[in-house]
Amino acid sequence: MFDYKYKRGEVLSGKAPLGYSIVDKHLVPNKDAEKVIKIFEHYAATSSLSDTVQFMEQELGIVMYSANLKNTILKQKKYIGVFRDNEHFCKPLISHELFDSVQRQLAMNIHSNRKYEYIFTGLIRCADCDHAINGFPQRGGKRKDGSYRIFPAYRCRIAYPYKRCPNRKLFYEAPLERYLVEHLHELLEIEISKYEQKNAKVIDYESKRAAIEKKIERLKDLYINEIITMDELKVSKAKYQEELSQLPAEAAAIEKRDLSALRNMLKMDLPSIYFTLDPQERRRLWRSCIPVGFFTYPISQAADITAFKATTVPVGEDQEPMIEQTREIVRRFNHIYGDTLVEPEILLPDNAACLRLPGTDGKAKMSKSLGNCIYLSDTADEVEKKVKSMYTDPTHLKVSDPGKLEGNTVFTYLDAFCKPEHFGRYLPDYPNLDELKAHYTRGGLGDMKVKKFLAAIMQEELTPIRERRKEFEKDIPAIYDMLRKGCETARATATATLDEVRKAMKINYFDDVELIAEQAKRFGQE
């Protein structure tokens, strides 16, 4: 459809690759072009993705995962001026010789050295950053024959080599496994207790709902038998429906779980049974405790993105692996069936503090269940109360004590929301945030003064949103109308994309005129 534009070298959508800027719909080299050349040359010299990743971070100030480096830079044909069928799409940054050399090295490095089934890979997460803990072979002592003993171990996947997490701890699989098995009965009892509580909520919800619905049905009988009037029916029915709406919505969303299998496990000699299993069977056992949604969610997210051919997805840092999964799905689909889906780019905040805001209690992220969130719907008093309760430096007991900025939630939020003009309005004693931080770290500045400053900033940020929300609340039917129209538009767009997917896969049986004609001819001859 847009081939003529591609032939003219026009960029239709998306983000420009590193080293280019979009000027008048064309890719033009920018100041980062030299960095791209250095990246290609470094990989050509080392043949190592991890080494190149470290080089980029340390020498060029670019933080990137190995997969992103490989797919978005090293395999990017635009760097030799090629895109689709246009050999002169843009000005090349590197030579064809260098690009081809890198592709050969990438092809040679496609191998798997995984000789061990890491039992807990993807099942445990880092306590500091909440990223996955991955397995890797850890070399141990040297044997008499000169070989080394290899032990399966685990570490945070972004602590090394990316150095984006302070957690450098290494966990060996054997002691971790022994600990879990020894405490398996205890862990199962905790798990059963959690689900029993959830099941109790569901049972209570279902019981109350059934009772109210029975009352509503009883009202109909009373009206039919002329015991109550229509007006009385409407009043009573409205009352019962109000009671239904007040039932806890979260209970309705909880899936009731059959606990019989877990209870049977408690009766077994689990340690004796467990160590007779091979690594694959042990892994399946631990994975059985993880909800299927944990594994299918990335696929569902990819469907949401690709259905609307999104070119750019604004997310937090924790969603980066999800977006990369989506990109991989798109690349694989387009490779097999032709260009159909759009490969999205991730849009991360420029402000590092906004990549992932912690909860008000200093935990890794906000969570409704933990009650550590600031909501857009919060009143001014609620916002002020939450800011005043924010986690700071626990060692900063007196105003005169030196304070720490690391892990201090108040200063994390100031990094995210504070602007230079805020000081003139709310804290004229300081010219900028750096001076405020300097005073806090050397001592003499109380937490409450800083919190009041942050509260004023948050109120300024949230007040327009809060007022806009109140305006919308005045006309609830209009909101539902907006949602209905949005759903209709979304449904139409998703349907069109699905039609394109079926056509690309050649499974659009009802629209395939040639197939129908061929089948008609075939069976007409019989």
Same domain, 168 and 189: no
% of the chain exceeding 90 in pLDDT: 30
For residues 409 and 440, membership in a common domain is answered with yes
| 299 plus 343 within the same structural domain | yes
Rounded CA separation 393/402 (Å): 10
- CATH number of the domain residue 29 falls in: 3.90.1750.20
pTM of the model: 0.47
Cβ contacts of residue 417 below 8 Å, gap of 6+?
Answer: 454, 457, 458, 461
pLDDT score of 187 more than 80? no
What local confidence, expressed as pLDDT, does residue 426 receive?
Answer: 94
* 18 located within any domain: yes
Q: Where is 29: in which H helix or E strand?
A: strand 26-29
Q: Which structural domain, as residue segments, surrounds residue 95? A: 3-108
pLDDT band (50, 70, 90) for residue 350: confident
- pLDDT, average across residues 403-425: 92
Average pLDDT over every residue of 238-261: 71
User: Is residue 340 located within the same domain as residue 394?
Assistant: no
Residue 358 within a domain: no
Flag whether 363 is in a domain: no
Q: What is the pLDDT of residue 109?
A: 65
Rounded distance between C-alpha atoms, residue 511 and residue 252, angstroms: 41
Residue 293 has pLDDT above 50, yes or no: no
- Backbone phi and psi for residue 3, each to the nearest 5 degrees, phi listed first: -55, -40
State yes or no: pLDDT of 256 exceeds 90: no
The pLDDT value recorded for residue 129 is: 75
Q: How far is CA 74 from CA 50, 70, 383, 418, 457, in A?
A: 13, 5, 47, 38, 43
CATH classification at residue 446? 1.10.240.10
- Binned at pLDDT 50, 70 and 90, residue 251 comes out as low
Position 468 confidence tier, pLDDT thresholds 50, 70, 90: very high
pLDDT higher at 251 or 471: 471
Judge if 61 and 40 occupy the same domain. Answer: yes
Bigger pLDDT: 380 or 291?
Answer: 380
Instruction: Please state, in angstroms and rounded to a whole number, the distance separating the CA atoms of residues 412 and 50.
Output: 30
Whether the per-residue pLDDT at 492 is higher than 90: the answer is yes
Residue with tokens 């569901």: 202
Q: What does the pLDDT read at residue 112?
A: 45
In a domain, residue 499? The reply is yes
Look at residues 71, 91, 108 and tell me which one is the last residue of a structural domain: 108
70-83 pLDDT, tens digit per residue, is 888 999 999 999 88
Answer yes or no: do 75 and 146 share one domain. no
Residue 216 class from Cβ within 10 Å (0-12 exposed, 13-18 middle, 19+ buried)? middle
Long-range pairs of 314-322 with CB within 8 A, sequence gap ≥ 24: 314/347, 314/348, 315/346, 315/347, 315/348, 316/348, 316/355, 316/356, 317/348, 317/355, 317/356, 318/130, 318/131, 318/356, 318/365, 319/346, 320/65, 320/346, 320/348, 321/132, 322/297, 322/298
Q: End of a domain among 179, 205, 233?
A: 179
CA distance 132 to 113: 20
Question: Please, which residues have CB within 8 angstroms of residue 128's CB and are 6 or more apart in sequence?
Answer: 156, 165, 166, 167, 364
Tell the residue number behind the tokens 């800027």, with chain if given.
21
| Residue 430 sits in the same domain as residue 457 | yes
The residue-averaged pLDDT of 112-128 equals: 70
Residues 146 and 203 occupy one common structural domain: no
pLDDT at 477: 92
Which pLDDT value is given to residue 265? Answer: 64
Positive or negative torsion for Cα 141, 143, 147, 152: negative
Check whether residue 150 and residue 191 sit in a common domain: no
Report if residue 221 sits inside a domain.
yes
Does position 53 have pLDDT exceeding 70, yes or no? yes
In a domain, residue 427? The reply is yes
What would the mean pLDDT of 88-116 be, rounded to a whole number?
Answer: 78
The residue type found at 438 is A
**424-464 residue pLDDT tens:** 999 999 999 999 999 999 999 999 999 999 999 999 999 99
Q: What CA dihedral angle connects 258, 263, 269 and 273, to 10 degrees?
A: 0
Query: Are 397 and 406 contacting, i.e. CB atoms less than 8 angstroms apart?
Result: no
Tell me, yes or no, whether 191 and 162 share the same domain: no
Averaged confidence pLDDT in the chain = 82
Query: What average pLDDT score do residues 181-199 get?
Result: 73
Instruction: Please list the residues that pair with 153 across neighbouring strands.
Output: 136, 172
Is residue 114 domain-resident? no
- Residue 66's closest CA among 118, 122, 134? 134
The total domain count for the chain is 6
Q: Is residue 118 part of a domain?
A: no
Q: Determine which of 62-76, 143-157, 321-335, 467-481 has the lowest per-residue pLDDT on average.
A: 143-157
Same domain, 457 and 519: no
Specify whether 141 is located in the same domain as 165: yes
The per-residue pLDDT for 294 is 45
| pLDDT at residue 297, rounded to an integer | 61
Domain C-terminal end among 154, 179, 204? 179
